Amino acid sequence: MLINCVAYQNGSRLADIEIDEISDYVHRPDCFVWVALRDAHASELAVLQQQFGLHALAVEDAQHGHQRPKMDEYGDSIFAVMHLVELERGALKVGEVDVFVGENYVLSVRNRSQQHLLGVRERCEREPHLLKQGSGFVLYALMDAVVDRYFPILDALESELEAIEEDIFAKGSARYNIERLYALKRKVMVLKHAVSPLMEEAGKLYSGRVPRVCVNSQEYFRDVYDHLTRINTSIDTIRDTIGTAIQVNLSMVAIEESEVNKRLAAWAGIFAVATAFAGIWGMNFKAMPELDWQYGYPAALIIISAACGTLYFRFKRVGWL
């Protein structure tokens, strides 16, 4: 679906145009056309491929979707893929924005995401002195908007981790905490898969051999790279903390099981003493001491009870019961 199609010249909005009018503007000096699509059909991409001369492989990737974040160069043009990550009812939903950038055009295609990018166009139009740099600055603005939306996701993941850490030492919650930590770890990996490849590709847009369309905006791409580096470092910190928390919870499970084993061993010891006394006095020998004594049975019970009581208080003192 077409969201908008606008022509710009010397950093200023020239006109809202139709798709079939694109060819009238792309060849003007200091002019470029910025088209935004959402969940584009193959027929729409085919028309724009003809208008802009898009590479067939890039168009094929945009049609199929589900691409890894990347920056591919095709001659003097760039095909960029970025992931749009949304937090929805406690789960992370991943969308995608594909951006085709050439000297005189920008085409953004948003797929499987409710996050609109209209604010990017408004921001660029408020800064005509920067928009004058051309399509490379638009690519920066789109990347910056996508990356900025990672920060609230990162904050939410950190808050969730802090909530789990507060319950780590709560009695009887170790197994439940491990389940929560593994669920959080999966969310962190979703964000990691969006950030890490994009960080590697963003580094190519400000250092070394920079694509021609990005030459005038190198310092801005360095700023995006710095943001991605911060996010990636925070993600690694969260992953390390989750690993530590999982080990602590496993240790808590082992400690809880050890406490149960201690109690079982203590009670087994107490009943073993009673069983030993009963086994000795229960042997069928005629010449056993106190066998014919009228107080022999009560005395045996008292001795057994005293032995068991002594063991019970000893185990209680050392914390086994």
Token match 């694509």: residue?
211
- 146: number of Cβ within 10 Å: 23
Of 193 and 165, the one with more pLDDT: 193
Distance between terminal CA atoms of the chain?
A: 70
Would 288 be classed as within a structural domain? yes
Q: Is 232 a member of any domain?
A: no
Q: What is the pLDDT of residues 37-86, one digit of tens each?
A: 998 888 999 999 998 999 999 999 998 878 899 999 998 899 999 999 99
Domain boundary among 127, 149, 172: 127
Integer angstrom CA distances of residue 81 from 96, 104, 166? 7, 19, 38
The total of structural domains in the chain comes to 2
Indicate the pLDDT class of residue 23, thresholds 50, 70 and 90.
Answer: confident
pLDDT of residue 241 exceeding 70 = yes
Q: CA angle 14-19-24, nearest 5°?
A: 55
User: Binning pLDDT at 50, 70 and 90, where does residue 229 land?
Assistant: very high
User: Is residue 14 one of the residues assigned to a domain?
Assistant: yes
Q: Record the pTM.
A: 0.79
Per-residue confidence at 279, pLDDT binned at 50, 70, 90? Answer: confident
Phi, psi at 82, each rounded to 5°: -135, 150
pLDDT value of residue 286: 64
Q: What CA–CA distance (Å, rounded) separates 162 from 262?
A: 32
- 217 within a domain of the structure (yes/no): no
Domain-embedded: residue 168: no
Condensed to tens digits (0 to 9), the pLDDT of residues 175-203 reads: 788 888 999 999 999 999 999 999 998 88
Instruction: Say if residue 265's pLDDT is above 90.
Output: no
In this structure, is residue 280 part of a structural domain?
A: yes
CATH at residue 46: 3.30.460.20
Domain membership of residue 105 as a residue range:
1-127
Dump pLDDT digits (tens) for 75-131.
889 999 999 999 888 889 999 999 999 999 999 998 888 888 888 999 999 998 889
Q: What is the DSSP letter of 212?
A: G
Residue ending a domain, among 127, 150, 177, is: 127
Q: Is residue 290 pLDDT above 70, yes or no?
A: no
**AA identity, residue 249:** N
**What order do you get walking across the sheet with 2-9 strand by strand?**
12-16, 2-9, 31-38, 105-111, 91-102, 77-88, 70-74
- 189/96 Cα distance (integer angstroms): 16
> Which domain-ending residue is among 104, 127, 150?
127
The angle formed by the CA atoms of residues 8, 14 and 17, to the nearest 5 degrees, is: 90
Report yes or no on 135 lying in a domain: no
Give the pLDDT confidence score for residue 275 in this predicted structure. 80
For residues 71 and 205, the answer to whether their CB atoms sit within 8 Å is: yes
Token pair, residue 163, equals: 């909530």
Cα 219 to the center of its chain, rounded Å: 28
* pLDDT of the residue at 3: 85
Q: What is the CATH number of the domain that holds 305?
A: 1.20.58.340
How does pLDDT run across 296-312, given as a tens digit for each residue? 667 777 877 888 788 77
Q: Would 286 be classed as within a structural domain?
A: yes
Share of the chain above pLDDT 90, in %: 38
